[in-house]
Chain A
């Protein structure tokens, strides 16, 4: 399989994730769409690693996975904190920065 197929698939997945972030209003689904975008980047990194025959790209993919795990943990902590304060989990309602 040519590497271009993987890169086009990665671009398509990134576009789907970006569209999801723009369309959806639920905080949880927006985090899921961010995961899709990060994984599209991972796919491109691993495809480039295969293309150059160099495993450094796979290290980058692993570091991206670590950063994504941190982002998930902090994001889910925020969601739980928002939910426990009985605030709406809708990003359109959560635009005030000051009480």
Chain B
């Protein structure tokens, strides 16, 4: 029974990941990632990580993916040209990914970790439940918890600053410029005239 659940989750996770890479339309890629994340949540449940499963479904498959769906619908498709700036990139990249897989597998399976017993020890009742995780998070990892909250706040403020800024009057339109994206150019729209008006 556990084997059936594992292979169902593994096929879902792997198929979702391959579909994300393979599908041409970014919107379909986002939907495939939702399948991938949900299958992965099932695998977490098989590993007795109940709280992580709930967080995965609620935060990732529920919250973060909604952001992705909105941005994918807003931005639309991106045409990917067939020409290759690096010769042989389409062949070399899968080869490199395969080499990476073999290397990580050798590192994981060839280590002496298997001496611990591959099935894992008998777990106490309540392992991985929200009560257990909450107790560890707020006692041993309190500083990590607070740092994570500061990080989330900074990310939210940064996203508003990045995306909420009005683009200037065509100063970078059509030009390929990352500095213009970051808003480093001094004349960027209405803010500068408004400030000078107040000063005058």
What is A's interface to B at a CB cutoff of 8 Å? 1-9, 11-20, 22-29, 31-33, 35-36, 39, 42-44, 46-47, 49-53, 55-56, 58-59, 61-63, 65-74, 76-90, 92-99
B67 at the A interface (CB under 8 A): yes
Chain A proximity mask over B28-47: 1 for CB below 8 Å, otherwise 0: 01100100110010011011
Chain B residues at the A interface, C-beta cutoff of 8 Å: 2-3, 6, 10, 13-14, 17-18, 20-21, 26, 29-30, 33, 36-37, 40, 43-44, 46-49, 51-52, 55-56, 59-60, 63-64, 67-68, 71-72, 74-75, 78-81, 85, 89-90, 92-94, 96-98, 100-101, 104-105, 108-109, 113-114, 116-124, 127-128, 132-133, 136-137, 140-141, 144, 148, 151-152, 154-156, 158-163, 165, 167, 172-181, 183, 185
**Dominant secondary structure at the B interface:** helix
Inter-chain contact B2/A4, CB cutoff 8 Å: no
Contact B118 A79 (CB under 8 A): no
Query: Given A53-B123, A85-B167, A92-B85, is A15 in contact with B100 using a C-beta cutoff of 8 Å?
Result: yes
In the assembled complex, the CB of B118 is this many whole angstroms from the nearest CB of chain A, namely: 4
Query: In the assembled complex, which residues on chain B have CB atoms less than 8 Å from the CB atom of A80?
Result: 71, 74-75, 162-163
- Structural contact, A55 and B163, CB atoms closer than 8 A: no
A87/B177 contact (C-beta < 8 A), A20-B21, A58-B128, A65-B56 known? yes
Docked complex Cα distance between A97 and B152 (Å): 27
A-B contact pairs, 27 of them (CB 8 A): A1-B119, A11-B105, A13-B14, A16-B14, A23-B94, A32-B30, A36-B33, A42-B40, A42-B52, A51-B116, A59-B141, A61-B49, A70-B152, A72-B64, A74-B159, A77-B159, A77-B162, A78-B181, A85-B167, A87-B172, A87-B175, A94-B178, A96-B176, A98-B177, A98-B178, A99-B175, A99-B180
- State in angstroms the CA–CA spacing of A73 and B67 once bound together: 8
